[in-house]
């Protein structure tokens, strides 16, 4: 697939869940496009591996639990003392266990919602003031078709992702009078390690719903993220961008 060239020189991007999967691919593409990139992840070993493998002086990382507001705020304050954050990619998330709602472990249900939804809120709440001060920002929140359709036996994940869609629409409208765009992407299943958190039956059920008959490729997802994060995106905000191979058409 031919990749479109974007110019992110003089831009600083923060990518959560950036040590693997979607997040890592986004970070690599941003770096190739000239950006300074900060990746966050809760897995310190994966972060160290990512930094070693990429070996780029414009890449830095922090071990962060995005569901912990105080931790997020402290790190953002330290970053914005030195540089602005021009681009925020809220990608950190977990699927949680596969179980019917009435049998779902209560602590795990809360954990999934805290990471997926509250993590997105925490990052937006702490970073947006810096974007307002500079009258520039691009925020891309990673939701899921599960947030649109609701996946059986994945109520926590579906709720968390649905919440991200609502948050995006609200925040995008709040910032619409500024040069700050806030959008969300709703991918179908993709070939990433997140599939390892699901049962084979659940994965097959997801695939059966996609008219394209295959999973999303990571590079396809990254291309959409790049456009939404670029200066070329001057009008789209508070919007939901589907990339589900025809599964969701609304």
Cite the active site residues.
157
Q: Please, which residues have CB within 8 angstroms of residue 155's CB and are 6 or more apart in sequence?
A: 101, 104, 109
Number of Cβ within 10 Å of residue 136's Cβ equals 17
List C-alpha distances in Å: 220 to 33, 101, 164: 16, 32, 21
Number of Cβ within 10 Å of residue 179's Cβ equals 13
The helix (run of H) or strand (run of E) holding residue 72 is: helix 69-80
Helix axes 155-174, 106-113, angle to 10 degrees: 30
């Amino acid at each position: 697939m031919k990749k479109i060239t974007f110019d992110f020189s003089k831009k600083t991007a923060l990518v959560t869940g950036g040590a693997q999967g979607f997040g890592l691919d986004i970070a690599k593409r941003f770096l190739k496009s000239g950006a300074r990139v900060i990746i966050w992840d809760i897995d310190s070993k994966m972060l160290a591996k990512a930094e070693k493998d990429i070996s780029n002086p414009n890449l830095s990382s922090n071990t962060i639990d995005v569901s912990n507001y105080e931790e997020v705020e402290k790190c953002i304050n330290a970053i914005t003392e030195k540089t602005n954050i021009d681009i925020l990619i809220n990608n950190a998330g977990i699927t949680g266990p596969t179980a019917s709602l009435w049998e779902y472990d209560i602590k795990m249900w809360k954990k999934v919602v805290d990471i997926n939804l509250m993590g997105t809120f925490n990052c937006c709440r702490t970073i947006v003031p810096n974007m307002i001060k500079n009258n520039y920002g691009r925020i891309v929140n990673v939701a899921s078709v599960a947030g649109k359709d609701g996946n059986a036996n994945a109520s926590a994940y579906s709720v968390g992702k649905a919440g991200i869609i609502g948050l995006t629409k609200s925040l995008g409208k709040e910032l619409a009078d500024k040069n700050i765009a806030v959008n969300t992407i709703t991918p179908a299943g993709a070939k990433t390690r997140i599939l390892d958190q699901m049962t084979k039956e659940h994965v097959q059920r997801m695939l059966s719903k996609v008219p394209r008959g295959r999973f999303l490729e990571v590079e396809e997802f990254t291309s959409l993220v790049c456009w939404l994060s670029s200066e070329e995106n001057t009008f789209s905000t508070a919007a939901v961008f589907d990339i589900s191979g025809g599964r969701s058409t609304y």
